[in-house]
A and B are shown apart, each in its own frame.
Chain A
Amino acid sequence: DVKVTQSSRYLVKRTGEKVFLECVQDMDHENMFWYRQDPGLGLRLIYFSYDVKMKEKGDIPEGYSVSREKKERFSLILESASTNQTSMYLCASSLPGQAYYQPQHFGDGTRLSIL
């Protein structure tokens, strides 16, 4: 089974702090994704990466950055945390290519509160 592990289940930080959310997958997947999930808005893509050192902006990248130094690890960085970044953050990974049936596999999520 694919295992996507997020470093923290719950996290509380203060406004202005730099926040790191870590995600590790154990299935040698090329693709990794960061989403945030808010009530009524669903899952929204923040950043994704199709390879090491590579990153692409998703739909809501403002206020975030990412790092992919190793294939198995994809980090989301909140440069200066703000209260509107309080949310559930979900990491996902998938195999590459044009295969129509490749799903995304999700981690358990990090519930982040910014005070």
Chain B
Amino acid sequence: QKEVEQNSGPLSVPEGAIASLNCTYSDRGSQSFFWYRQYSGKSPELIMFIYSNGDKEDGRFTAQLNKASQYVSLLIRDSQPSDSATYLCAVRRDNYGQNFVFGPGTRLSVLP
């Protein structure tokens, strides 16, 4: 089983809709989780992090964490064409350093 799994997509949503991106992880001891956005040909940029169960909102983005079920999701409300990118889920591997493991990414396409 891969450490971090994501549906590779592409996930297509119409402009203005809610995009839902999911990520599951295998290490039950994982503590913190990050969502990165990567535009084609560019480097990943941090969108959000979450480490407590429940929801965390930042503007149009909401991260949801359920440690019992070992999944983390990212909701994008009022999706815009500029949100079209690959979204990477990253899980911090250990509690003492900054060693992350990344999922393969989900490609999101927001259709005008």
- By a beta-carbon cutoff of 8 Å, the part of chain A in contact with chain B is 31, 33, 35, 40-45, 48, 50, 58, 90, 94-96, 98, 100-109
SS of B interface (majority): loop
Q: In the assembled complex, which residues on chain B have CB atoms less than 8 Å from the CB atom of A35?
A: 102
Known contacts A31-B98, A102-B98, A106-B44, then 20 further A-B pairs from the complex at CB < 8 Å, ordered by chain A residue: A31-B97, A33-B98, A33-B100, A40-B104, A42-B103, A43-B44, A44-B102, A50-B98, A95-B98, A100-B31, A100-B49, A100-B51, A101-B32, A101-B49, A103-B34, A104-B34, A104-B100, A106-B43, A109-B42, A109-B43
The reply to whether B102 and A96 contact each other, CB–CB distance below 8 Å, is no
Give which listed residue, A42, A50, A90, A103, contacts B104 with CB less than 8 A. Answer: A42
Contact residues, B86-111 vs A (CB, 8 A): 88, 90, 92, 95-105
Report the interface size for chain B: residues with CB under 8 A from the other chain: 25
> With an 8 A cutoff between CB atoms, is B70 at the interface?
no
Complex CA distance for A100 and B96, rounded to whole angstroms: 9
The reply to whether A103 and B102 contact each other, CB–CB distance below 8 Å, is no
The reply to whether A42 and B88 contact each other, CB–CB distance below 8 Å, is yes
Complex CA distance for A91 and B92, rounded to whole angstroms: 17
